[in-house]
Amino acid sequence: MSVENQPAALQDTHRCPAGAYGWTPLMLTAGLFFLIGFVTWLNGPLISFVRVSFSLDDISAFFIPLVFYFSYFFFAIPASWVITRTGLKRGLSLSLMVMALGMAGTGQFIAAGVYGAALAGLLVLGCGLALLQVAVNPYVSFLGPAQKAAQRIAIMGICNKFAGILAPIVLATLVMGDIEGVAHQAATMTDPAARAALLGQFVQAIYWPYLGMAVLMLLTAGAVALSSLPDIQPPDTASPLSTDPSSPPTRQMLLSPHVLCGIGAMFLYVGVEVMAGDAIGTYAQGFGLPLNQTRFFTALTLTGMLAGYCLGMVCTPRFCSQERYTFYSCMAGAVLSLLAFMAHGYSAVLCVALLGVANAMIFPGLFPTVLKNTGKAAPLVAACLVMAYCGGGIVPQLFVWLKTLFGFQGVFTSLTVTGYALIALYMRRSAV
């Protein structure tokens, strides 16, 4: 039956991105995505902060995204088991409480000057985020008609990236102060005790903002528990979902080329996204741009992503399918990466920031494409996709390691163009 011949209420369900559940659940989950974005995109300026605070080289400072995103790899599968047993609402509340613990621990240990323990706090924070992402991404995908999934995820992305724009600005303003002056002063000090006292005073500024965010997460956990969010099961699922990878149907689905290549594409995408967002400051410093400017550059990329989401919402699926739009986004990202390689200084940085526009609609198109027709295996497939977020830690770490051997512009472009090309190939094959 065509949409035109269906009853009016059902036609509205097809036309409305929110689907039959209405806008309230969509707006509640949008609030969660705002929180996810704010927490996630603190990593960009945090890299610069710990580099100065603990006198680290780039490789050591980039342990921040490495540990943060590797937490998805370690905790995504256990998170899928937890969500299956607790249900959506209790799982979301639990994830927010775990995130609050990780946020408070990270701020406490950075303020105490214990970098290793602060990384452990980030691992706990990532554990809570893995639990939240395993629940909320499939939830949004199945909240309405499949052809509108990219549009719904784009709404989530707008909230996520708007928070991402605010996060580095807030952290840089409240916490980092005159970071370039502190770095220069610490580098010229000959008295180790005076230098330690200066840096010790500098790191104290991070404690109260991180503690405040932890309290906010606890309050949000209570709000979610009291909310009217419905429990949604994936389509074609009448019985409790299997997350056992040894189950024959689940194993067959998980090992299918469509799913395996989709997981690889997600690994590359998150790596490229973090390169453009968290590593843009390090990229800019390669041209000798001042630290007091580069600490804000993550917000430039996130502004580009916000614009990209708005553009994508207008174009999909009205003018272009979500699979084809994702393919075009990858091509645009590859072109911008090549332009960044050929440019210099602020022009090259602008090209990297514009990667945010290209990146915006890749995730909204990729996630539902991989989940399509996975049936009862959907929770495990979603968990594996979340595990693939560890690309956000590995690909930037490759960048900071290889740039010491070859040159930061060439390494950056090689990694991003390779990622875009392979994602585009996957989306083109999936659209056939």
pLDDT tens-place string over residues 330-344: 999 999 999 999 999
Mean of the pLDDT values across residues 315-325? Answer: 79
Altogether, the residues listed in the chain come to a count of: 432
Candidate from 68-72, 308-312, 373-377 with smallest mean pLDDT: 373-377
**pLDDT number for residue 1:** 35
**pLDDT number for residue 199:** 78
143: closest CA among 229, 68, 261, 214? Answer: 229
**pLDDT number for residue 352:** 94
The mean pLDDT of the chain is 81
Mean of the pLDDT values across residues 153-172? Answer: 79
**pLDDT number for residue 146:** 65
Alpha-helix runs per DSSP H in 237-296 = 248-254, 257-277, 280-285, 291-294
How far from chain centre, in Å, is Cα 327?
A: 20
Mean of the pLDDT values across residues 83-92? Answer: 77
Cα separation, 345 vs 211, in Å, equals 37
Cα separation, 237 vs 87, in Å, equals 15
* Residue 97 CB neighbours (<10 A): 18
Mean of the pLDDT values across residues 146-173? Answer: 76
Top pLDDT among 200 and 217 is at 217
DSSP 230: P
Q: Torsions phi, psi of 118, nearest 5?
A: -65, -35
Cα separation, 210 vs 124, in Å, equals 14
**pLDDT number for residue 5:** 39
Q: For the chain, give me the number of helices (H) and strands (E)?
A: 22, 0
Q: Torsions phi, psi of 257, nearest 5?
A: -55, -35
pLDDT classification of 245: cutoffs 50, 70, 90? low
**pLDDT number for residue 120:** 94
Residue that is written with structure tokens 């740039």 in the block: 403
Positive or negative, the CA dihedral 412, 414, 416, 417 is positive
pLDDT classification of 161: cutoffs 50, 70, 90? confident
DSSP 56: -
Cα separation, 136 vs 367, in Å, equals 12
Cβ contacts of residue 272 below 8 Å, gap of 6+?
333, 355, 359, 395, 415, 416, 419, 420
| Domain formed by 3-227+245-431, architecture | Up-down Bundle (1.20)
**Residue 263 pLDDT > 90:** yes
**Residue 121 pLDDT > 90:** yes
**pLDDT number for residue 414:** 95
Candidate from 39-43, 55-59, 407-411 with smallest mean pLDDT: 39-43
For the record, the structure tokens of 69 come out as: 């995103």
Mean of the pLDDT values across residues 62-75? Answer: 89
**Residue 306 pLDDT > 50:** yes
**pLDDT number for residue 416:** 95
Residues 37 and 168: beta-carbon distance below 8 Å = no
Most confident of the ranges 239-243, 283-287, 308-312: 283-287
Which residue type, as a one-letter code, is found at position 21?
Answer: Y
DSSP 289: -
- Give, in order, the Cα–Cα distances in Å from 419 to each of 282, 330, 333, 380, 395: 20, 9, 10, 24, 10
Cα separation, 417 vs 54, in Å, equals 33
Cα separation, 369 vs 427, in Å, equals 8
pLDDT classification of 261: cutoffs 50, 70, 90? very high
**Residue 236 pLDDT > 60:** no
The structural domains of the chain, with segments of one domain joined by +, span 3-227+245-431
